[in-house]
Amino acid sequence: MKREMRREGPRTLTAHVGRFVLVFVLSLAVLATLWTFIAPTYTRLVAMLARPLFRLVESPNVTVLSAQGAETWVYRIIGEREIAPFTWFDRYTFFALIPLLALLAATPGLGWRRRVLRGVTGIGALMVVHVLYVVSSVELSYAAMGLRTVGPLAARTLDLWQIVVRVLWEAAPILIWVALTFGAWKKLFERLRSGDPAGGDARRASWTGALGTLGWKKKEGTP
């Protein structure tokens, strides 16, 4: 009996993680199929938001963005009424939207209303990241090719900045998801803790300490 009770906690956690993985994979399969239809609209929106930002950071404005299907083409003005293709972002550049939505779909303990609200917030936040990614990537490329003047320190650390931009672009869906579902995971961990009667005071104390350090307050009456 004691052994069974001790095993209950970890098993429940494994079950939760298993469910999480399963729902994630299923959601991903459905959403990835839909991505073909969503991508052109999303790409157009990103380009629409990035254009004024280019005008803000460039003087004079030399970049022309064109959303072509799910691809974003970047042209550079090289003369009066003359533009030349500079680079492009392929149809996978903004795909992180799909794993983000799949992560939200798989997160346990969220009602549908909250899930949808977080989904909308997540899409908005990720779109901001994508807009910044497009603008900063292009500007860093200009600087690397000597098409934009930068200070000596920035010139020496261009490689580093390109990596930082890349890391933030890759990490964005996870960071946004963590920010949006922090509370849900907290509740799940608390439930796992309370549903593990023989898990020992030790594990309970550890989680209490962990959650407390993260700023989570224990509800009154909970063990």
Choose the binding region for other proteins from 52-60, 64-72, 91-99, 127-135 (rule: CB under 8 A): 91-99
Cα–Cα distances in Å, from 198 out to 3, 5, 116?
A: 8, 5, 37
Site size toward other proteins (CB under 8 A) is: 49
Q: Among residue numbers 3 through 32, which ones bind other proteins (CB under 8 A)?
A: 10, 13-14, 16-17, 20-21, 24-25, 28, 32
**Separation of CA 144 from chain center:** 27
215 — alpha (psi -120 to 50), left (phi > 0) or beta?
Answer: left
| Position among 54, 133, 142, 207 found at the interface with other proteins (CB under 8 A) | 207
Residues 196/167, Cβ–Cβ less than 8 Å? no
Helix (H, G, I), strand (E, B) or coil at 145: coil
**Separation of CA 172 from chain center:** 3
Residue 71 tokens read as 């691809």
Helix H segments across 58-75?
none
Q: Which residues contact 71 (CB under 8 A, 6 or more apart)?
A: 43, 88, 89, 90, 91
| Position among 214, 220, 221, 222 found at the interface with other proteins (CB under 8 A) | 214
Per-residue x/- track, 38-77, other proteins (CB under 8 A): ----------------------------------------
Q: Among residue numbers 128 through 187, which ones bind other proteins (CB under 8 A)?
A: 159-160, 163-164, 166-167, 170-171, 173-174, 178
In single-letter form, the type of residue at position 71 comes to E
Residue 175 tokens read as 């960071």
| Position among 81, 152, 202, 222 found at the interface with other proteins (CB under 8 A) | 202
Binding site for other proteins (CB under 8 A): 10, 13-14, 16-17, 20-21, 24-25, 28, 32, 35, 90, 92, 95-96, 98-99, 102-103, 159-160, 163-164, 166-167, 170-171, 173-174, 178, 189, 192, 199-214
